[in-house]
Amino acid sequence: MKEFPRRVLMAVIGVCVAGLSVGMFVYSDMGVDPFQVFAHGTWNAVRRAVPLDFGTYYAILNAILLVVIFFWNRRKIGIGTVINLFLVGYFAEFMEFLLNKMNPDPNLALRIISLILGVVIMCFASAVYFTADLGVSTYDAVAITLSERHTGWKFKYIRILTDLICVVIGGLLGGVIGIGTLVTAFFMGPLIAFFNKKVAEPMRYGSR
């Protein structure tokens, strides 16, 4: 397969699998990811002055980030960004529905397994669609751009830092933090970097 079709396939597979992992994350009911903590916390602050439902606020927040990324590093906006915006939610809902259909009342052990698998699969999927380099989600673009352009730090450290900033700000403003939030904040960066090197880059470029 030629490189561009391979990259498109990687972007589609990565985003869709990421959506499935979000459904597993939600099913575990052990906290949301750091950006969701930030989004819910800032929404709590904003809605005291402006009566916005969360869906509308979340769309506005992503639109603001999209404008920032457009002027900061527009190469990170592409088909992957569009796919992410429109498909992740549907795949997440499908996976959550499927898991609830199979076991609507999971015990603690099953929730922990779902959380761990969700985080690992999310990191694998993120590495695949990052490496396709056809656009990423607006939040993902922040850490990637910082690591590529403005610091000497590796992506995994930048991602931990941005996740922790989101958790702290969101938590202080009333966002709910769970064990899943902390696991994601500390392990997503290193795991994405691992899958990027071991799986995603060989998938795009072949063995070197």
Selection from 3-12, 48-57, 98-107, 131-140 with the highest mean pLDDT: 98-107
**What are the helix (H) ranges across the chain?**
3-28, 34-46, 54-73, 79-102, 108-132, 138-145, 155-172, 179-195, 201-205
- State the pLDDT confidence band at 206, using cuts at 50, 70 and 90: confident
> How does residue 1 score in pLDDT terms, banded at 50, 70 and 90?
low
The band of 107, judged by pLDDT with boundaries at 50, 70 and 90, is: very high
Return d(Cα 44, Cα 125) in angstroms, integer: 30
**What pLDDT score was predicted for residue 41?**
92
In this prediction, residue 46 carries a pLDDT of 92
Give me the mean pLDDT over the 115-124 stretch. 93
pLDDT interval class at 164 (50, 70, 90):
very high
Which tens digit of pLDDT belongs to each residue from 22-33?
Answer: 889 889 989 888
- 48-91 residue pLDDT tens: 888 888 878 888 898 899 899 999 988 889 888 888 877 887 88
Closest CA to 23 of 161, 107, 125, 109: 125
| pLDDT score of 176 more than 90 | no
Amino acid type, 38: F
φ, ψ of residue 178 in degrees (nearest 5)? -125, 180
The pLDDT of 42-51, averaged and rounded, is 90
CA torsion sign for 39, 42, 44, 50 is negative
